[in-house]
C-alpha cells in the first residue's frame, strides 16, 4: 500500500519508497498552510527538523477541536514519538521555546524529552528585540513590518560574528563576557538609556540565560551528525521550512524579506547535509496569495475585495494577529519558486476559500513579458499582472477527499497550476482539519505538468 509519504501520487512512484529525506518549503510569502502539510507528512517521518527562521513562524495545525500554533517547536511535536530538532540555521529565543514547550505540555503534548537543539544555533537576546524596535520605529507603521521577534538583529549578530550560540549558554563566564561586549555596542547603537530602560543588564541577563542554558543542556546535540546517522540507518527525515520563498534573504523581495534562506537550499546549510541526500522537495502554495508586512505584491487586491478574501480565508497572522494583505494566485512568482527550490510536487492549500467565486483571476505574466518568466527584480512594485480568468466552481469542496470528488472547474484550476508551473499538484487542502485533504492520483495532472517541464 502506498503511504502519504509518497503523497499517493503514481508519478512519484519511480522514486525510492519511502523517501528518506523530504523538504517542505513555502512557495509564496509564508502563511501558505505549511503547518497542516508538515503535520500530515510527519505521520510517516521519524525526525521533523526546522532549518531556519525562529519564533517569527506560526505553523497552525488543527487536530479535532484543538488548534495548535507552533512558533519554534517543529510541527512533528504533535505526532507522538517523533524526534523534533532545531538545526544550526535556526535562531532560538529560549524563553519563547520553553514557554511553547510548557504550553504544549498543558495540552497533553510532551515534547521536551524528544527535542534536540544544535549547539551552533544562535540565540535571540533581549537586546535584539530592542534593536529591532528601534530600527522598525524609524518609520510610521514600521520600516519593513517585521514580526518584532528579534530575528533580523539575531542573524545580523551571527553574520557580524558577535552572536551568542547555544553552547555559549553552557559556560557562565564566557556568556557574561560576550554579553558585556555586546551590550556596550547595543548601547552605542540605540543609546545607553534606551537599552537600559528596556533591557536587563549584563549580570541579570547572564543569570537568566545561564538558567535557560541548564535546561537546554540535555537537548544539545550535533544535529548534522544526528540527521546523517539517522538517514544511514534508514530513518525518514522531514524538513519543515518556515516563512516562504519570496521572503528569502537572497531571492525574495529584498529588503522586505526575512533574514534567512527560506528556499530548499536553506535546509542544507541550516541542518548540515549534502544536496544529494534530498529525495523530494514539496512546495506549499495557497490557492491565492497573501502577505504580511510591507513590500511589493503585484497581485494584491484593492481593499474591499481583499477584505472579502480575508474574511473567507480568516487571513490574520498566526504570530502577530495582523490582517494579511490578500490577492490572486501569482503563477509568475510560483514558477520562480519552483525553480529556486526544484519542487517535485506542489501542495495547494485553502482551495475551499475560493468555493463561492464565479470567476477566479490568476496571474500568468507581468506586462510587457507575454511568456511570464520575467521577474522584475527591482521594479516589482511597478509590475502589471496579466490575468487569465478561470471558471469558478460555486460549490463546496469541503467534503472532497479524492480528485473525483472535486467539481470539474476546481480540478481544472489545479490542472492549470500544474501546467503553468511544470510541477504536479499532489495534494489539495480543502479545510483546516487533517482529514480535509484531497490526495491526488490523477495522471492528467502529471501530464499537464510534464507538458510544460519537458
Binding stretches for ligand IMP (CB under 6 A) = 30-31, 56-58, 144-147, 149, 151-152, 242-243, 247, 256, 258-259, 292-293
Catalytic-labelled residue, pool 39, 59, 71, 251: 59
Closer by beta carbon to ligand IMP, 283 or else 424? 283
Supply the minimum distance, in Å, between the C-beta of residue 49 and ligand IMP: 17
Please, what is the angle between helix 408-421 and helix 443-453, to 10°? 30
Closer by beta carbon to ligand IMP, 149 or else 415? 149
Supply the minimum distance, in Å, between the C-beta of residue 26 and ligand IMP: 8
> Contact, 424 vs 446, CB < 8 A?
yes
Closer by beta carbon to ligand IMP, 69 or else 200? 69
Supply the minimum distance, in Å, between the C-beta of residue 324 and ligand IMP: 8
Residue 430 has phi, psi (to 5 degrees) of -120, 20
Closer by beta carbon to ligand IMP, 152 or else 313? 152
Whole-number CA gyration radius for the chain: 22
Based on the residue annotation, tell me whether 344 is a catalytic residue of this protein.
no
Supply the minimum distance, in Å, between the C-beta of residue 56 and ligand IMP: 4
Supply the minimum distance, in Å, between the C-beta of residue 99 and ligand IMP: 18
Q: Using H for helix, E for strand and C for coil, what is the string for 132-178?
A: HHHHHCCCCCCCCCCCCCCHHHHHHHHHHCCCCEHHHHHCHHHHHHH
> Contact, 361 vs 392, CB < 8 A?
no
Spatial neighbors of 181 by CB under 8 A, at least 6 apart, are 162
How do beta strands 237-240 and 21-26 pair? parallel
The reply to whether omega before 284 is within 30° of 0 (cis) is no
Closer by beta carbon to ligand IMP, 28 or else 449? 28
CA distance 405 to 397: 8
Supply the minimum distance, in Å, between the C-beta of residue 234 and ligand IMP: 32
Closest residue to ligand IMP, based on beta-carbon distance: 293
Closer by beta carbon to ligand IMP, 7 or else 151? 151
Q: Which three cell numbers stand for residue 29?
A: 510569502
CA distances from 423 to 94, 164, 339, 344, 454 (A): 38, 41, 10, 6, 11
Based on the residue annotation, tell me whether 59 is a catalytic residue of this protein.
yes
CA distance 297 to 341: 21
Closer by beta carbon to ligand IMP, 429 or else 449? 429
CA distance 316 to 325: 9
How do beta strands 66-70 and 289-291 pair? unpaired
The reply to whether omega before 255 is within 30° of 0 (cis) is yes
Supply the minimum distance, in Å, between the C-beta of residue 409 and ligand IMP: 29
Catalytic-labelled residue, pool 31, 39, 93, 279: 31
> Contact, 393 vs 425, CB < 8 A?
no
- Where in the sequence numbering do the catalytic residues fall? 31, 59
Amino acid at each position: 500500500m502506498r503511504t502519504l509519504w509518497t503523497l499517493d501520487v503514481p508519478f512519484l512512484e519511480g522514486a525510492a519508497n519511502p523517501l528518506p529525506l523530504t523538504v517542505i518549503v513555502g512557495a509564496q510569502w509564508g502563511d501558505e498552510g505549511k503547518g497542516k502539510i508538515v503535520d500530515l507528512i510527519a505521520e510517516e517521518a521519524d525526525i521533523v527538523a526546522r532549518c531556519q527562521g525562529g519564533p517569527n513562524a506560526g505553523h497552525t495545525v488543527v487536530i479535532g477541536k484543538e488548534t495548535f500554533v507552533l512558533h519554534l517547536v517543529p510541527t512533528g511535536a504533535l505526532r507522538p514519538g517523533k524526534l523534533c530538532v532545531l538545526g544550526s540555521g535556526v535562531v532560538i529565543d529560549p524563553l519563547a521555546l520553553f514557554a511553547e514547550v510548557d504550553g504544549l505540555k498543558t495540552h497533553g503534548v510532551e515534547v521536551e524529552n524528544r527535542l534536540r537543539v544544535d549547539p551552533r544555533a544562535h540565540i535571540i537576546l533581549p537586546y535584539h528585540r530592542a534593536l529591532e524596535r528601534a530600527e522598525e520605529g524609524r518609520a510610521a507603521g514600521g520600516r519593513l513590518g517585521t514580526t518584532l521577534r528579534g530575528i533580523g538583529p539575531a542573524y545580523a549578530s551571527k553574520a557580524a560574528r558577535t552572536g551568542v550560540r547555544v553552547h555559549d549558554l553552557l559556560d557562565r563566564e564566557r556568556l557574561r563576557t560576550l554579553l558585556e561586549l555586546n551590550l556596550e555596542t547595543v548601547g552605542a547603537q540605540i543609546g545607553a538609556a534606551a537599552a537600559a530602560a528596556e533591557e536587563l543588564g549584563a549580570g541579570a541577563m547572564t543569570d537568566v540565560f545561564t538558567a535557560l542554558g541548564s535546561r537546554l543542556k540535555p537537548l544539545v546535540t550535533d544535529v548534522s551528525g544526528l540527521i546523517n546517522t539517522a538517514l544511514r540507518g534508514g530513518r525518514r527525515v522531514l524538513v519543515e521550512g518556515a516563512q516562504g520563498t519570496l521572503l528569502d534573504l537572497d531571492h525574495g523581495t529584498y529588503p522586505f524579506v526575512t533574514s534567512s534562506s527560506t528556499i530548499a537550499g536553506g535546509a542544507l546549510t541550516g541542518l548540515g547535509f549534502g544536496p544529494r541526500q534530498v529525495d523530494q522537495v514539496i512546495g506549499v502554495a495557497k490557492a491565492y496569495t497573501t502577505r504580511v508586512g510591507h513590500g511589493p505584491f503585484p497581485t494584491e487586491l484593492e481593499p474591499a475585495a481583499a477584505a472579502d478574501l480575508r474574511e473567507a480565508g480568516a487571513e490574520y497572522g498566526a504570530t502577530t494577529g495582523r490582517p494579511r494583505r490578500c490577492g490572486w494566485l501569482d503563477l509568475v512568482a510560483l514558477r520562480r519558486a519552483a525553480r529556486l527550490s526544484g519542487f517535485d510536487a506542489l501542495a495547494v492549500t485553502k482551495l475551499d476559500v475560493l468555493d463561492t467565486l464565479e470567476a477566479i483571476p490568476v496571474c500568468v505574466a507581468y506586462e510587457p513579458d507575454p511568456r511570464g518568466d520575467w521577474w522584475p527584480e527591482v521594479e516589482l512594485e511597478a509590475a502589471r499582472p496579466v490575468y487569465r480568468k478561470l471558471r469558478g466552481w460555486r460549490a463546496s469542496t469541503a467534503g472532497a477527499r479524492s480528485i473525483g470528488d472535486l467539481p470539474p472547474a476546481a480540478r481544472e484550476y489545479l490542472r492549470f497550476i500544474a501546467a503553468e508551473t511544470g510541477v504536479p499538484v499532489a495534494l489539495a487542502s480543502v479545510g483546516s482539519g487533517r482529514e480535509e485533504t484531497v490526495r491526488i492520483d490523477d495522471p492528467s495532472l502529471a501530464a499537464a505538468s510534464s507538458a510544460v517541464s519537458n
